[in-house]
Amino acid sequence: MTIDRRSFIATSLAGAFSLSWKLPASAAGPAEVGIWAVIYPDDTVVVRIARSEMGQGTFTGLAQLVADEMDADWSKVRAEYVAPEVNLANKRAWGDMSTGGSRGIRASVDYVRKGGAAAKAMLIQAAAAQWGVPADQCTASASVVTHAGSGKTLRYGEVAAAAAKLPVPSDVTVKKPAEWTIIGKGVKRLDTVEKLSGKQIFAIDVQLPDMLNATIAQCPVFGGKLVSFDAKAVQAMPGVRQVVAVGDNAVAVVADKFYQAKTALAKLPIVWDEAGNGKVSSETIAALLREGLEAKQAGVGLAQGDIDAAFTLAATKMEAVYGTPFLNHATLEPMNCTAKVVGNTVEIWVPSQNGEASMAAAAEAGGVKLSDVKVNKLHLGGGFGRRGQQDYVRQAVLVAKQTGGRPVKLIWTREEDMQHGFYRPIGQAKMSGAMDASGNVVGLRMRIAAPSIVANLIPSALVNGVDKIAFQGMNPDEFGYMAVPNILIDHAIRTTSVPVGFWRGVNVNQNTIFMECFVDEMAHAAKKDPLEFRRAMMGKNPKHLAILNAVAEKAGWGSKLPDGVYRGLAQNCGFGSYVAAVAEVSVSDKGALKILRIVAGTDPGYAVNPDQIDAQVDGSFAYGLSALLYSENTIKDGRVVESNFDTYQVARMADMPRVETILKPSGGFWGGVGEPTIAVAAPAVLNAIFAATGKRIRQLPLKDQDLRRA
C-alpha cells in the first residue's frame, strides 16, 4: 500500500483544529510509523481515528487498540481524526468511516490492531538496526525498545524517524487477550478535559473569517416542495444578506448572525406545495399499520417448525397487539454544517457519523469532484444515528454556492430539527403464543407492521423486498428462545410519507419491547415465574441465559422486596452483544411511577474499556427510558406536531434510576456496546409495572397511560 505521505502530515498538522490537544511546542519531525500512528520525538504517540466520536468513547477505545499492540506508553497517547479526503487519496487505507450500528470498535478491531502491531515491529526493527543486533533479541514495553543481551534501550521517539522509513510489515500477529495491557483497562477518555471548560469546538461553534450564518425552513409537510417566498419582506431586517432557495423543498435566510437569520426567517412569507401529503395523520398511519398486521404478504425473518400446527394443537392460545411511536433523535446539538465553496472546491466543517458520506454529499451538492472536497470532522454533540444522514450537509453546500465564496454556517433551529428528522419507525406488532397443557411454549408468532428504514434510505439493500434490519434482535443468530419448536417472525412493510431512519438501537428496541413483554404475559398466564419461564425456552442459547442469570442473581430475583416495590426483567441479543436487565419500580395509588433501580448486564465478548462500557450502558437507559416515559412524535396535517423539548419530553435527572452495570465479557467475539442495552430498558420496566399494578401497557409512551392499579 502506498501512502501519500505529504498529505498525511499536512492533515496531521492542519487537523489540529479539530483536536482537543496541542502539538508539543518543541516537537520536531513527527514520524509516521505505518499508517495508524504518528510518533513525536518526545514519545507522544498520535493514533489516527477513522470513526466519529459522538460521546460513545470510540475515539479512546480505538486508540487503546492501536496503542496496546504498539506497546505504547498510554500516558503519552493522543488521537486525531483521519480526514476523509486523505482516506480517499490513499485508497481508503483507514477503512470505513461510518460510525453506527455499534460497529466503531468491533468492525475495526482486526485492522487497527494489526496496524499497531506493524508499528511496533518497525520500531523494534529500527532499534535493532541501530544496535546491529537481531530484532528477535529485542522487546518493547511502554514506548521503550530493550535489547535483552546488552540491556540497551531506545525510546520510541528516538527511533521513530528510522522506523518510519521501513516497509510496513503485513504478516504481523496480534496479541492474545492475556497479553493485553491497555485493552481491557478503564483508562481515562482522551476527550474529557476540553469538554469541562467550554473549549471543545463543536461544529456549531466554528468561526471562520468572513463567515455568514444561515437558518433554514423546509416544507413542513413531508414530501412537499417550495413554491415561492417573498424575500422583499425581510431583506431590510438587521443583518440580513440573502434569502435563497435550497434545493426544491427549502428556503434559507443568510445573515451576519444566526439570530438575525432566525428572526427574519420567522417573518418570511413562504408558499409550499404539500404534494398531496397534507392529510396524513397519526390516525391514518395507525390504520395502515393495523391493516399490515393482518396482511397475507410479509417478509420472513425467522421461521422454524410448523407454526400453524402448533397453534392448532395448543392447549392455550394468547394474542396481544403492541405499538411504539415515531421518535426523533433529538441530539442536543442541532443539525448544522459550515460550508465554503470557492471556484470548484468545497470545504465543510461537519459533525458527521460518516465523514466519507459527508464528503460525497458535499461533492454532489457542490457539483464538484470528490477529490475537490475537504472535510473537517468535529466531535458530535450527539449522533444517535441522525448524523449518518447528510441532508444538512447538502443544504449547507447549496447555500454556500450562493454566497460568492464566503463561508456559511447553517444551523437548524430546534423546531426544524424536531420536525425534519429521520424518525425511529412507528410500529405495531401482533404477538401470538401457543402453550401446551403444562404451560410450555410450543409456538411463538410475531407479525410486525412498520415503515422500513432500509426501504427509505437504502432500497438497494432490500432482499427480495424484505428488510432484514426489521428483524434486528429477532434473527436466528440473535433470538434467545430458539428452543421453542415452532416460531414465525415476519414483517409487513407499510410506507408513510414520514421519513424513517436509524435511531440508537434501531429496530432492536421495538422488537425487544414486543417480544419481552409478551413473553412476560405468557409467563403470567401460565402462572410461572417470568425468570423460570424464560429459562425453559433458552436451552439452545447459553450466552443469553448466562447474562440473564447474572442480572437475576445481582438483583436478587425472587427475594423479598420492600413493600410497594416490584421487579420486571428482559433479555435480548443485539449488535453482537448479549444483554439483560432487571428493573425495580413502585407505582403510587395515583399512578405515579418511580423507577428505583436497574441492574443491567452485558456480554460484549471482549471489553476494551470497562469504565466507558459502564457509561454507555448507564446512559443507554436514559435514552431507552426517555422513549418509554415521554417521547413521541405524532403526525397531523402531514407534519410533525411536536416542535421542541416542551412537547417532546425526554428523561431528566429526576427520572433517572440508579443503574448497576454488570460486565461479563465471555471472550471469543466482539460485540457492540453503545446500543444493545437500550432495548431492555423499556420492557424490564413495563414488566415491573405489570407486577406492581396488574396492568399490561402495550402502547408507548407512558405519559399517555393511566398506571393506577387495575
Partner 1 sequence: MIALNINGQVHQVDVDPETPLLWVIREWVGMTGTKFGCGIAQCGACSVHIDGAVTRSCSVPVGTVGASKIVTIEGLSADGLSHPVQRAWLAHEVPQCGYCQSGQIMAAAALLAQNPKPSDADIDDAMSNICRCGTYNRIRTAIHTASASAS
Binding site for partner 1 (CB under 8 A): 53-57, 188-189, 191-202, 204-205, 207, 213, 238, 257-259, 330-334, 379-384, 411, 413-414, 611-612, 615-616, 618-623, 644-646, 650-654, 656, 658-659
Residues 359, 362, 364, 368, Cα dihedral to 10°: -90
Residue closer to partner 1 (CB basis): 433 or 624: 624
Least distance in angstroms from the C-beta of 40 to partner 1: 24
How far apart are the C-alpha atoms of 282 and 508, rounded to whole Å? 23
Residue closer to partner 1 (CB basis): 384 or 518: 384
Least distance in angstroms from the C-beta of 640 to partner 1: 16
Residue closer to partner 1 (CB basis): 457 or 656: 656
Least distance in angstroms from the C-beta of 60 to partner 1: 10
Could you tell me which of 214, 219, 652 has the C-alpha nearest to residue 419?
219
Least distance in angstroms from the C-beta of 412 to partner 1: 10
Least distance in angstroms from the C-beta of 654 to partner 1: 4
Residue closer to partner 1 (CB basis): 654 or 710: 654
Show Cβ contacts of residue 582 under 8 Å, excluding neighbours closer than 6 positions: 551, 552, 554, 555, 557, 567, 568, 569, 598, 599, 684
Residue closer to partner 1 (CB basis): 12 or 631: 631
Residues 323, 286, 502, 664, Cα dihedral to 10°: 10
Could you tell me which of 436, 472, 466 has the C-alpha nearest to residue 452?
466
Least distance in angstroms from the C-beta of 5 to partner 1: 33
Residue closer to partner 1 (CB basis): 215 or 456: 215
Residue closer to partner 1 (CB basis): 207 or 297: 207
In whole angstroms, how large is the CA radius of gyration of the chain?
27
Least distance in angstroms from the C-beta of 197 to partner 1: 3
Least distance in angstroms from the C-beta of 177 to partner 1: 24
Least distance in angstroms from the C-beta of 659 to partner 1: 6
Show Cβ contacts of residue 387 under 8 Å, excluding neighbours closer than 6 positions: 52, 54, 331, 335, 351, 352, 353, 380
Least distance in angstroms from the C-beta of 195 to partner 1: 3
Least distance in angstroms from the C-beta of 506 to partner 1: 17
Least distance in angstroms from the C-beta of 351 to partner 1: 9
Residue closer to partner 1 (CB basis): 20 or 277: 20
Residue closer to partner 1 (CB basis): 257 or 369: 257
How far apart are the C-alpha atoms of 108 and 60, rounded to whole Å? 13
Residue closer to partner 1 (CB basis): 200 or 699: 200
Residue closer to partner 1 (CB basis): 1 or 654: 654
Could you tell me which of 673, 707, 667, 674 has the C-alpha nearest to residue 690?
707
Query: Phi, psi at residue 52, to the nearest 5°?
Result: -105, 145
Strands 408-411 and 37-39 turn out to be unpaired
Output the 3-class SS for 218-262.
Answer: ECCCCCCEEEEECHHHCCCCCCEEEEEEECCCEEEEEECCHHHHH
| 273 secondary structure, DSSP code | E
Least distance in angstroms from the C-beta of 206 to partner 1: 9
Query: Phi, psi at residue 680, to the nearest 5°?
Result: -90, -10
CB 620 within 8 A of CB 682: no
How far apart are the C-alpha atoms of 449 and 298, rounded to whole Å? 9
CB 323 within 8 A of CB 698: yes
Hey, which residues does 633 pair with through a beta bridge?
326
Could you tell me which of 386, 399, 175 has the C-alpha nearest to residue 265?
399
Residue closer to partner 1 (CB basis): 199 or 369: 199
CB 671 within 8 A of CB 106: yes
Residue closer to partner 1 (CB basis): 259 or 669: 259
Least distance in angstroms from the C-beta of 239 to partner 1: 9
Residues 274, 279, 285, 288, Cα dihedral to 10°: -100
Residue closer to partner 1 (CB basis): 509 or 612: 612
- Is the C-alpha dihedral spanning 4, 88, 86, 126 positive or negative? negative
Cβ–Cβ contacts within 10 Å for residue 319, how many?
A: 11
Give whole-number Cα distances, 618 to 6, 122, 623, in Å.
43, 40, 9
